[in-house]
Amino acid sequence: MKNDTTLSRRGLFMKLGILFNGLVATALAVPIGRFLLSSITRGRANGYLDWVSLGPVSEFPEGETRLATFRNPLVLPTDGKTVDTACWVRRVEGDRFQVFAVNCAHLGCPVRWFPQSGLFLCPCHGGAYYRDGSRASGPPERGLFEYPYKVQNGLITIQAGELPTPGPGAALINIKTGKDQSCA
């Protein structure tokens, strides 16, 4: 008579296989779950909407463009110096400013301001922009990206964290005519 409490080789390997698959599934599910819930658990669900100070308005003389840096609000302990982000601040007049991302609209290379010519120039592919950020020449299809700004209590602040870029189809719309230029 066969004893029902004995475990066959097939049964043992079946149970070990289920145990091993369960361990692997848990090992994969934990990091994926932490990634999906990270913005909620860290309390930074809307961190990219934070307003960051660039400094007092008096540091930006009227009619001039100056380089400013700010600390990105989406900071992780491993980010190091990469959280210090640059931008170009142009004071038009009074409390009217233009705050440009330092990245070229073509491929994201850092642009430099040349006050002698009144142009932003990209060293990578020769893109040029006028002082108001509009495209002057070269491969970029549009002007420099601008950060939203506000002036409060004598400080200029920008809404930072996310690089200001247009939507995926923005390059396909002609600004002057407003018509779609896509091939379809």
Rounded Cα–Cα distance for residues 42 and 37 (Å): 9
* Same domain flag for 36 and 78: no
pTM of structure: 0.63
Structure confidence at residue 138 (pLDDT): 85
What is residue 28's predicted lDDT score, i.e. its pLDDT?
Answer: 93
Whether residue 36 sits in one domain with residue 117? no
Predicted pLDDT of residue 20: 96
Predicted local confidence at residue 183, as pLDDT? 43
Domain containing 131 equals 47-164
Based on the fold, state whether residues 35 and 51 are members of the same structural domain.
no
- Asked if the structure places residue 67 within a domain, the reply is yes
Q: Which pLDDT tens digit goes with each residue over 5-44?
A: 788 899 899 999 999 999 999 999 999 988 888 766 665 5
Residues contacting residue 132 through CB under 8 Å, at least 6 positions apart:
90, 98, 143
pLDDT for 12:
92
Cβ distance 57 to 156 under 8 Å?
yes
Same domain, 37 and 61: no
The single residue listed with the structure tokens 């698959």 is 21
Work out how many domains the chain is built from and give that number. Answer: 2
Question: Does residue 175 belong to any structural domain of this protein?
Answer: no
Token output for 53: 């100070």
Supply the CATH number for residue 118's domain: 2.102.10.10
Cα(113)–Cα(128) distance, rounded to whole angstroms? 10
Whether 26 and 65 map to the same domain: the answer is: no
Enter the DSSP assignment of 180: B
Q: For residue 32, with 0-12 CB atoms within 10 Å meaning exposed, 13-18 middle and 19 or more buried, which class applies? A: exposed
What is the three-class DSSP state of 77? coil
> Phi/psi of residue 10, each to 5°?
-60, -45
What is the per-residue burial (b if ≥16 Cβ within 10 Å, else e) of 113-151?
Answer: beeeeebbbbeeeebbbebebebbebebebbbbbbebee
> Are 25 and 93 in the same domain?
no
Cα 36 to Cα 121: distance, rounded to the nearest angstrom:
39
Q: Which uninterrupted H or E stretch holds 127?
A: none
Q: pLDDT below 70 — which residues of the chain?
A: 1-4, 39-49, 161-184
The answer to whether residues 63 and 149 belong to one domain is yes
pLDDT at 95: 85
Look-up: residue for tokens 């599910």? 29
